[in-house]
C-alpha cells in the first residue's frame, strides 16, 4: 500500500522550531552525550517487566487498531503496552524499535474512536522520527539529565525553552499524521474534546462546535493584544509539552479542509491526482514489503505545494498553480 512521507505533512511550526532547537549552542554536544548514556535495551526490559503487553492474544481489540494505521503511515507495527496509570495519556519511546505505552486511565475514560486516534497520533511521532528528541527532552525537563555523566552541565534554560517549543510544535505534525491515517480530522477533534475533560464515560452532551469556537476566541484575543501575547509566551515558555486542546483541534480542522490534505487522501485511495508525472522516492509500499517504490512498482508522488496544495513534480522550484517557491 502506498504511503506519504512525513516530510510532506510536517507542520511549518515543527520545522521552524526544530531548526531553532538545533541551532541552540550546546545542543549538538548534548545530543552526543545523551546518545552515549541512553540505552534502548534497558527501556525495553523495564517496559516489558513492568507493563501489560497488548498483543493479538491479549486485549486484541486495541492491538488490532495498530496495523491499518501503521500501513497508512508506512511504519512497522510498534510494541504496545498498557500502564497502570489513571491519567489520560500515551507516549512513545525507543527510536529504533518503537514502543507505545497507553495508560489505563485512557482506556477507562476515552471512547474507542479516541483511543484509535491516540494510537494514530503516537504512530505519527514514529513516522516523523520525533521519538529520540522526545526521549532526550523528557530527561532534560525532569531534571534527570543532571545526574547523567557528561549531560547535566549542557542543559540551559534556553535549551529547555527551545525544546518545549519544538515539543508542542511536533504535536501538530503528529495530529496531521493521525488525520491522514484515519481519513479526516474528526477523530482527532473528538480526542481533543475528551482530553479537555469531556470524558466519554461521563456521557456528557458536548457541542463540539462550541469547543472549536473557544479556540477561535483564544486566537482573536492573542492576535489582537500584544500584552496578552507576551503574557502567553511568558506563562507557557517552560510549561506544557502539548498545544492547547481546543486550538490544536481547530488547527487540524483547517488543514484537513485544504486541497493539500484532500490530494493526499486521493493519492492514498488510489485516485488520480492532477499531476503530469508521479516520480518515485517519497511514497513507497508498506515496510513489510521489499525494496523502495522504484524497485517494487508501488505508486509514488513527489509532493504538494505547501501554499495551495497543488501536486509538484520532482525538482520543481516554483508551484505552477500559485507561483510560490517550493519549500
Residue matched to cell numbers 523502495: 292
Residue matched to cell numbers 519549500: 327
Please name which of 84, 121, 120 lies closest in space to residue 103, comparing C-alpha atoms.
84
Residues 109-154: tens digit of each pLDDT: 999 999 999 999 999 999 999 999 998 888 777 666 566 666 666 6
Scored b (16 or more CB within 10 A) or e, 46-82 reads ebeeebeebeeeeeeebbebbeebbbbbbbebbbbbb
pLDDT at 313: 56
Q: What is the pLDDT along the chain (327 residues), one digit of tens a residue?
A: 788 899 999 999 999 999 999 998 878 888 888 887 788 999 999 999 999 999 999 999 999 999 999 999 999 999 999 999 999 999 999 999 999 999 999 999 999 999 999 999 999 999 999 999 998 888 777 666 566 666 666 677 778 888 888 999 999 999 999 999 999 999 999 999 999 999 998 989 999 999 999 999 888 877 766 555 555 555 555 556 677 899 999 999 999 999 999 999 998 988 876 543 333 333 433 333 333 333 333 333 445 555 444 455 556 666 554 556 665
pLDDT at 282: 39
Residues 281-315: tens digit of each pLDDT: 334 333 333 333 333 333 334 455 554 444 555 56
CATH code, residues 8-187: 3.30.2010.10
Report the distance separating Cα 85 and Cα 75, nearest Å.
Answer: 27
pLDDT at 19: 94
Give residue 140's Cα distance to chain centre.
20
DSSP-derived letter for residue 78 is P
The three cell numbers locating residue 210: 462550541
Domains of the chain by residue range: 8-187
pLDDT at 284: 39
Kindly tell me the sign of the dihedral angle through the C-alpha atoms of 47, 51, 56, 60: negative
pLDDT at 317: 62
Report the distance separating Cα 207 and Cα 167, nearest Å.
Answer: 29
Phi, psi (deg, nearest 5) at residue 325: -70, 140
Yes or no: say if 276 and 322 are a contact pair by the CB < 8 Å rule. no
Amino acid at each position: 500500500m502506498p504511503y506519504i512521507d512525513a516530510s510532506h505533512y510536517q507542520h511549518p511550526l515543527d520545522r521552524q522550531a526544530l531548526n531553532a532547537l538545533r541551532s541552540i549552542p550546546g545542543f549538538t554536544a548534548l545530543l552526543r552525550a545523551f546518545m552515549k548514556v541512553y540505552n534502548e535495551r534497558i527501556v525495553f526490559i523495564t517496559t516489558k517487566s513492568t507493563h501489560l503487553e497488548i498483543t493479538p492474544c491479549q486485549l486484541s481489540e486495541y492491538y488490532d487498531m495498530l496495523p491499518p494505521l501503521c500501513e497508512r503511515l508506512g511504519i512497522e507495527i510498534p510494541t504496545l503496552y498498557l500502564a497502570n496509570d489513571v491519567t489520560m495519556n500515551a507516549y512513545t519511546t525507543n527510536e529504533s524499535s518503537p514502543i507505545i505505552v497507553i495508560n489505563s486511565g485512557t482506556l477507562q475514560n476515552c471512547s474507542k474512536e479516541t483511543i484509535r486516534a491516540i494510537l494514530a497520533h503516537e504512530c505519527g511521532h514514529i513516522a516523523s522520527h520525533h521519538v529520540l528528541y522526545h526521549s532526550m527532552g523528557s530527561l532534560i525537563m525532569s531534571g534527570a539529565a543532571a545526574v547523567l555523566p557528561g549531560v547535566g552541565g549542557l542543559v540551559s534554560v534556553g535549551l529547555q525553552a527551545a525544546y518545549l517549543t519544538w515539543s508542542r510544535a511536533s504535536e501538530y505534525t503528529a495530529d496531521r499524521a493521525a488525520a491522514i491515517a484515519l481519513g479526516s480530522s474528526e477523530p482527532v477533534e473528538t480526542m481533543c474534546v475528551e482530553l479537555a475533560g469531556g470524558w466519554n464515560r461521563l456521557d456528557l452532551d458536548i457541542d463540539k462546535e462550541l469547543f472549536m469556537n473557544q479556540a477561535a476566541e483564544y486566537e482573536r484575543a492573542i492576535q489582537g493584544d500584544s500584552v496578552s501575547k507576551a503574557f502567553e509566551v511568558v506563562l507557557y515558555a517552560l510549561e506544557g509539552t502539548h498545544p492547547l486542546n481546543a486550538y490544536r483541534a481547530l488547527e487540524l480542522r483547517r488543514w484537513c479542509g485544504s486541497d493539500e490534505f484532500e490530494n493526499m487522501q486521493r493519492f492514498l485511495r488510489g485516485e488520480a491526482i492532477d499531476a503530469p508525472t508521479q516520480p518515485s522516492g517519497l511514497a513507497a509500499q508498506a515496510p513489510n514489503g521489499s525494496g523502495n517504490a522504484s524497485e517494487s512498482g508501488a505508486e509514488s508522488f513527489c509532493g504538494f505545494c505547501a501554499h495551495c496544495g497543488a501536486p509538484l513534480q520532482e525538482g520543481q522550484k516554483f508551484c505552477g498553480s500559485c507561483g510560490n517557491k517550493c519549500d
